[in-house]
């Protein structure tokens, strides 16, 4: 698979202070070197940063950063995208410095999100230290987590991630009110999932991104802490059917969710068969009013 992982995520938000409190005080991320009040950066592992948050007068997903192995893979992917008719733009020196990567290009996926392809990320030699005592996130070569996007351009977006970026289908979930497909680019069960939008929906919607921790106690403590701090919980604790993750969802100040969980299963390509599921969760994940 030419894309190796979801390496970083860029958000533009109105309330950076609320995001800082959420990511650091509630979920245990670490402020990264180079953060400023206008541009916050957060670590979850030994990378320089995984999440960048830009102060803005609008709420939006600025970019999804997908990692490829090296310069040759980057060139190959850019040529493949251009051959398929996509408009691909080379990153500027400022963008490379900001993302702290050696090489970068970007395009827009059919759902409307800016996707960046990069190689040569920068590490941070200092140990990752979580103020909450989280021993480390489940990331590394598996990437920062996953993103879930609801889009009316379901088929086109699926083709983009599958045919152009080389993602493989892990499984499908079809319930009464929902159709979703789960795509992987490494052993993490899914790095991108797509939800089919309701008919007559025009805009794609960013549903959530997921951060994974290595133990259930870290999830339970974060859940307790979110409840205590009155962070809105959008879906109760539960275990998903397909990736087996035990998680809860909280509503961010930008209106979409973060899933915070543990125990996501890994896929072995040699033995994996695609399944379909008729429910999202074995138990829990009840939708809750978020006010
Ligand atoms: Fe998720």
- Whole-number Å distance, alpha carbon 282 to ligand 1 midpoint, is 14
Rounded to 5 degrees, φ, ψ at 188 are: -60, 135
* Structure-derived torsion over alpha carbons of residues 174, 160, 262, 51, reported in degrees to the nearest 10: -140
The per-residue pLDDT for 137 is 97
Q: How far apart are CA 252 and CA 232, in angstroms?
A: 8
The per-residue pLDDT for 135 is 86
Q: Which helix (H) or strand (E) is 89 found in, with range?
A: strand 89-90
Q: Which residue, among 123, 81, 113, has the nearest Cα to 192 in the 3D structure? A: 113
The architecture that CATH gives domain 140-284 is Roll (3.10)
- Whole-number Å distance, alpha carbon 148 to ligand 1 midpoint, is 6
- Whole-number Å distance, alpha carbon 279 to ligand 1 midpoint, is 14
The per-residue pLDDT for 291 is 67
- Whole-number Å distance, alpha carbon 75 to ligand 1 midpoint, is 31
CB 117 within 8 A of CB 66: yes
- Whole-number Å distance, alpha carbon 107 to ligand 1 midpoint, is 24
Domain ranges of the chain: 5-121, 140-284
- Whole-number Å distance, alpha carbon 5 to ligand 1 midpoint, is 16
CB 193 within 8 A of CB 148: yes
Q: pLDDT by residue for the chain (291 residues), tens digit each?
A: 899 999 999 999 999 999 999 999 999 999 999 889 899 999 999 999 999 999 999 999 999 999 999 999 999 999 999 999 999 999 999 999 999 999 999 999 999 999 999 999 999 999 999 988 898 899 999 999 999 999 999 999 999 999 999 999 999 999 988 999 999 999 999 999 999 999 999 999 999 999 999 999 999 999 999 999 999 999 999 999 999 999 999 999 999 999 999 999 999 999 999 999 999 999 999 999 886
- Whole-number Å distance, alpha carbon 94 to ligand 1 midpoint, is 32
- Whole-number Å distance, alpha carbon 254 to ligand 1 midpoint, is 17
- Whole-number Å distance, alpha carbon 250 to ligand 1 midpoint, is 12
- Whole-number Å distance, alpha carbon 248 to ligand 1 midpoint, is 9
- Whole-number Å distance, alpha carbon 263 to ligand 1 midpoint, is 12
- Whole-number Å distance, alpha carbon 219 to ligand 1 midpoint, is 14
- Whole-number Å distance, alpha carbon 223 to ligand 1 midpoint, is 16
The architecture that CATH gives domain 5-121 is Roll (3.10)
Provide the token pair at 141: 């070569």
- Whole-number Å distance, alpha carbon 30 to ligand 1 midpoint, is 22
Same fold, 5-121 and 140-284: yes
- Whole-number Å distance, alpha carbon 257 to ligand 1 midpoint, is 9
The per-residue pLDDT for 8 is 98
For CA atoms 27, 67, 157, 284, give the dihedral sign: negative
Q: How far apart are CA 101 and CA 78, in angstroms?
A: 16
């Amino acid at each position: 698979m030419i894309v190796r992982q979801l390496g970083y995520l860029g958000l533009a938000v109105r309330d950076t202070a609320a995001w800082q409190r959420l990511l650091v005080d509630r979920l245990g991320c670490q402020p990264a070197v180079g953060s400023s009040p206008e541009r916050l950066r957060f670590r979850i592992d030994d990378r320089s940063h995984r999440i960048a948050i830009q102060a803005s007068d609008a709420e939006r997903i600025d970019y999804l950063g997908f990692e490829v192995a090296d310069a040759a893979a980057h060139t190959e992917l850019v040529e493949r995208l251009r051959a398929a008719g996509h408009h691909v733009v080379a990153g500027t020196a400022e963008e490379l410095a900001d993302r702290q990567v050696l090489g970068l290009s970007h395009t827009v996926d059919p759902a409307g999100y800016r996707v960046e392809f990069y190689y040569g990320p920068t590490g941070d030699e200092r140990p990752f230290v979580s103020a909450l005592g989280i021993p480390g996130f489940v990331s590394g070569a598996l990437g920062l987590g996953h993103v879930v996007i609801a889009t009316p351009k379901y088929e086109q977006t699926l083709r983009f991630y599958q045919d152009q970026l080389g993602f493989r289908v892990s499984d499908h979930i079809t319930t009464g009110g929902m159709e979703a497909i789960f795509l992987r680019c490494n052993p993490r069960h899914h790095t991108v999932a797509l939800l089919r939008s309701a008919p007559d929906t025009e805009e794609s919607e960013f549903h959530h991104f997921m951060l994974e921790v290595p133990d259930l106690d870290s999830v339970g403590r974060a859940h307790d802490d979110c409840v205590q701090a009155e962070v809105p919980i959008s879906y109760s604790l539960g275990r998903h059917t397909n990736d087996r993750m035990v998680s809860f969802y909280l509503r961010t100040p930008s209106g979409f969710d973060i899933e915070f969980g543990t125990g996501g299963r890994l896929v072995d390509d040699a033995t994996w068969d695609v399944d379909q599921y008729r429910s999202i969760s074995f138990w829990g994940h009840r939708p809750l009013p978020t006010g």
